[in-house]
Amino acid sequence: MDANRVVIVGGGASGLVAAIAAARKGAEVCIIEKLDRVGKKILATGNGRCNMTNFNEQIHDCYKSDQAFIRKVFRSFNVDQTVDFFDRLGILHKVESEGRVYPFSGQASSVLDVLKMKIKELNIETIYTNPVVKIENKANIFRIYLKDKSVVASEAVVMACGGKAGPQFGCHGDGFILSESLGHSVISPEPALVQMICNEWYNKRLKGVRVKGNAKLQCDESVISESKGEIQFTEDGLSGICIFDLSRDVHSCIKKGKKCSVVVDIFPEYTYDELQLIFQKRLSYSTFKTNEEFLTGLVNKRLIPVILKLSAVQKSDENCSALTSKQINRMIHTFKEWKIPVAGTRSWEYAQVTAGGIDTKEIDPQTMGSIIIPGLFFAGEIINVDGICGGYNLQWAWSTGHIAGENAAKPICRGFKV
């Protein structure tokens, strides 16, 4: 194969956009995809609807890692440019709650389809089911060795092969190994946007119960991060958007030998004093009710026996008029600061994204090019940047992919291909 072309390693979200951006600059482009099709992970995003991006004005605050680096990336290719990019491909979008952007069709497959159409129109070659096993760089030429022992040569390579989240989508961390072999540093990858594991007696009892509230992740007694939104109890722990957004820091906390907990506030709308007044008022007209009946109408019925036990109210069928001020204070404290010990997170198979990856200090944010090796570029989840739920991780893929693709094409060709 002619070395005078751009090779994209990985046909996911960032890789497909990188390929299109490079081809539009006039480069010959080849995508190497280890699976039998491109964009498989795109189809699973947004529960199959594809939360493409987010119109949050402070978008850079929704990512972890080097904030200065992230800001520079979005100055080069932002949300408005992303929406315009997909509009030109054929995606009519709609904006839903909290600025989340979806295709009007409600189908993630629409996003993948228009990307594939453009790949076809631009005559971009794609090599399927033939993973990259080794990359060498000599005299500014990359030799890319594939599993079938064939070799692809190129002057520019975009590493867009994802992280480790979702091995069912072909993500096994191959890009980290390949990048390290070329001299790059990898920040230890950890699962992010993933369910937490808790080993509490009430887990199975509360399976499927959902509440909306605030949550804090604590390492020992220090608050590491906070989030708000839906919290879902599972058979072995906690799930929901609120929990996903906190999950990235669980492993680092546990690795340091610290105790990790989630502190949940089920009533963020009310202060302690306001809840005291609510409880006193309820007691005044609930003297005929049991302790369990007293809490009915405040929270999900399945939560009530658990709340009572955690508050040291031993008899759920006892008349609520016997509740002491100490017991009421315990109940309010449980509602406002329910401390749930966390043992870890679920595996990579359940994680939506990877925390960790190629150190941003080794990448030029204006080009996504390697500071170590000329002609090497990075895009997407392989980089040590991850966002919260809400379309932010796909936006990172689109932005870094477009920047990497355009800049990878520059040394190879001039002109512009419409």
Predicted pLDDT of residue 322? 86
Place of tokens 């030998």: 257
Nearest to 16 by CA among 34, 36, 39, 40: 39
105, pLDDT greater than 90:
yes
Asked if 12 and 119 sit in the same domain, the reply is yes
Predicted pLDDT of residue 9? 98
Predicted pLDDT of residue 283? 87
Asked if 243 and 121 sit in the same domain, the reply is no
Asked if 290 and 380 sit in the same domain, the reply is no
Task: Encode pLDDT of 153-162 as tens digits.
Answer: 999 999 999 9
Predicted pLDDT of residue 415? 41
Domain assignment present for residue 416? The answer is no
Asked if 143 and 217 sit in the same domain, the reply is no
What six digits make up the tokens of 214? Answer: 């605030």
Predicted pLDDT of residue 57? 82
Predicted pLDDT of residue 298? 92
Asked if 214 and 164 sit in the same domain, the reply is no
Q: What is the CATH number of the domain that holds 296?
A: 1.10.8.50
Asked if 211 and 360 sit in the same domain, the reply is no
What six digits make up the tokens of 377? Answer: 């570029």
Predicted pLDDT of residue 316? 81
Last residue of a domain, one of 310, 345, 380: 345
Binned at pLDDT 50, 70 and 90, residue 2 comes out as low
Mean of the per-residue pLDDT values for the chain? 94
The mean pLDDT value for 160-166 works out to 96
Asked if 103 and 246 sit in the same domain, the reply is no
Nearest to 294 by CA among 302, 304, 202: 304
Q: What is the CATH number of the domain that holds 90?
A: 3.50.50.60
Asked if 122 and 255 sit in the same domain, the reply is no
Domain assignment present for residue 178? The answer is yes
In whole angstroms, give the CA distance from residue 216 to residue 237: 15
Domain assignment present for residue 414? The answer is no
Domain assignment present for residue 79? The answer is yes
Domain assignment present for residue 1? The answer is no
Domain assignment present for residue 415? The answer is no
**What's the domain range around 25?**
6-191+354-409
Domain assignment present for residue 120? The answer is yes
Binned at pLDDT 50, 70 and 90, residue 60 comes out as confident
DSSP per residue, 302-323: GGHHHHHHHTT---TTSBGGG-
The mean pLDDT value for 306-319 works out to 89
Nearest to 190 by CA among 392, 345, 361: 345
30, pLDDT greater than 90:
yes
Task: Encode pLDDT of 350-407 as tens digits.
Answer: 999 999 999 999 999 999 999 999 999 999 999 999 999 999 999 999 999 999 999 9
Last residue of a domain, one of 319, 345, 371: 345
Asked if 203 and 329 sit in the same domain, the reply is yes
Number of folded domains that form the chain: 2
Asked if 157 and 210 sit in the same domain, the reply is no
| C-alpha torsion 406→410→412→416, nearest 10 | 70
Domain assignment present for residue 268? The answer is yes
DSSP conformation class of 56: -
Predicted pLDDT of residue 418? 34
Share of the chain above pLDDT 90, in %: 87
Place of tokens 């392989």: 382
Query: Ramachandran region of residue 134, left (φ > 0), alpha (ψ -120 to 50) or beta?
Result: beta
Asked if 32 and 106 sit in the same domain, the reply is yes
Task: Encode pLDDT of 188-238 as tens digits.
Answer: 999 999 999 999 999 999 999 999 999 999 999 899 999 999 999 999 999
Asked if 50 and 86 sit in the same domain, the reply is yes
Backbone angles phi, psi at 117, to 5 degrees: -60, -45
416, pLDDT greater than 50:
no
Predicted pLDDT of residue 204? 94
Query: 3-state DSSP call for residue 233?
Result: strand
pTM, full prediction: 0.93
The mean pLDDT value for 125-134 works out to 97
Predicted pLDDT of residue 315? 84
Last residue of a domain, one of 345, 369, 391: 345
417, pLDDT greater than 60:
no
Predicted pLDDT of residue 404? 98
Predicted pLDDT of residue 317? 85
